[in-house]
A and B are shown apart, each in its own frame.
Chain A
Amino acid sequence: MLAVLPAIGEGFYFRDRVSWQSPIPASELVTVDQAKAWGDGVIWVDARPDDEFASDHVPGAFSLNEDHWGELLAQFLPNWSPEKKVVVYCSAESCNAARDVAKRLRDDAQIQNVFVLNGGWEEWMKKNR
């Protein structure tokens, strides 16, 4: 009981400094090494804005962001097939775009086996450059 009161107080005081989004479940996250081990069984999806995709991206990745969701989904789907695993990434660990795009692929496009790349593009760069 004694510990609860300060915890509530601290929670209220720091209410504007905490993340409002729950962490991505571990089962939906994949590391660069794991994704690379899947080889040709992976389709890479770049959830970053168009200009960042244009400047550089994972080889073979499709651009699919929510700025032009309808148009980009239409370009992505003919290249997808059910046996493939979809790995979505955004800029870094802190960005939310990959999580949002992954959710939309599951909910709107009813695609299974959608994962978020842990660490995003930043982590890919560390492992590949």
Chain B
Amino acid sequence: MKTRILTFTLSILLVVSARAELKWEQNIIELHPSVGDKQAVAHFKYQNTGTAPIHFKSVKASCGCTTTQTQKEVVNPGEKGEIVATFNIGDRTGQQLKTVTVQTDDPNPAQASTVLTLKADITPALEIKPQVVYWQSGEEPKSKKISVKAAKEFPAKELTIKSNSQNFESKVEPGKPGEWTIEVTPKDTTHPIGTALLIQTDYPKEAPKSFYLNVVVTNPPQAPPVLRPTAAPAPGLKATPAAIPSVSPAAR
């Protein structure tokens, strides 16, 4: 009987003392991909510093643009490993923040879920301002200017514009090294039309990169309904002005 009680007590003690603990080297990794890189890869390293094995239940990225790889499903006590998060940059620019949520079977709810964060600052190869140029239907078909600036790591020397549309004319004026001004003029603005001009660079030589500049003639903004008072406002009350029409991009 004594042996049974002792075995039972020992097993209880073992269960209670067995703890799982996944320690992460870094929960936030900041990456600085070079101009033109297609991917940014973060290695989130961990170690099981507990005395019980840990099972990964799920590893989910916040964005379809990020894929994850876990090396193993079970992490035994003392074992090390890493979760690799690969962020596909695509056409993204600026500060990017992607998260990976890791769920384990750790009995401690506070430890069972961990959010790993991947930060990446993506410099665009060409800074095109504005990226879309608008005219309103009926607006005078005046030319509009677009400034283009190459990043330091993108030493393009020449820009050319390609277009399938006969409705817009464009010309490129070089400025300081790595800077240009593009002037676009619609041939007519009587009806809505849009097209993308392809900005072709001469860098890198083996596969020169190209970018889009959108030029659009939009519908005229719809006139707000004219509110006609059915009766004179009561004495002391001012007539309510009609709703302010939203300003279309072309009007900015």
Contacts and interface: CB of A to CB of B under 8 A. Distances in A.
A36 interface: no
Interface in B111-159: 113-117, 130-132, 134
Contact of A96 (B62, B110, B116, B214): B62
B214 A77 contact: yes
Most-contacted residue by chain A among B91, B113, B130 (CB, 10 A): B91
Contact of B90 (A14, A68, A108, A112): A68
B222 interface: yes
Interface stretch (B76-84, B168-176, B190-198, B230-238): B190-198
B110 A110 contact: no
B113 to A, nearest CB: 6
Interface in A59-76: 65-71, 73-74
B110 A14 contact: yes
Given A16-B28, A69-B90, A96-B63, A110 B115 contact: no
Contact of A113 (B90, B194, B219, B246): B246
A97 interface: yes
Interface in B66-112: 88, 90-92, 97, 99, 110
B247 A112 contact: yes
Contacts of B194: 77-78
A73 B214 contact: yes
Interface of A: 13-21, 48-49, 52, 65-71, 73-74, 77-78, 80-83, 91, 94-97, 100, 108-113
A67 B216 contact: no
A97 B114 CA distance: 21
30 contacts: A16-B28, A16-B116, A17-B110, A17-B114, A19-B99, A48-B64, A66-B91, A67-B88, A68-B91, A69-B92, A70-B196, A74-B196, A74-B212, A77-B216, A82-B219, A82-B246, A83-B219, A83-B221, A83-B222, A95-B63, A96-B63, A97-B63, A108-B132, A109-B131, A110-B130, A110-B134, A110-B249, A111-B249, A112-B249, A113-B246
Given A96-B62, A110-B134, A16 B115 contact: yes
- Nearest first, the 10 A-B pairs at minimum CB distance are A74-B196, A69-B91, A67-B90, A82-B248, A78-B194, A70-B212, A16-B27, A110-B249, A49-B64, A81-B219
A21 B63 CA distance: 13
Contacts of A18: 115
Contacts of B214: 73-74, 77, 109
A97 B117 CA distance: 16
A80 B114 CA distance: 41
Nearest to B194: A78
A26 to B, nearest CB: 19
B241 to A, nearest CB: 20
A78 B92 contact: no
Contacts of B88: 67
Given A77-B196, A94-B62, A96-B63, 9 more contacts: A15-B27, A16-B114, A49-B65, A68-B90, A71-B212, A73-B214, A78-B194, A108-B131, A112-B247
A14 B24 CA distance: 14
A52 B117 contact: no
B56 interface: no
A65 B252 CA distance: 26
Nearest to B114: A16
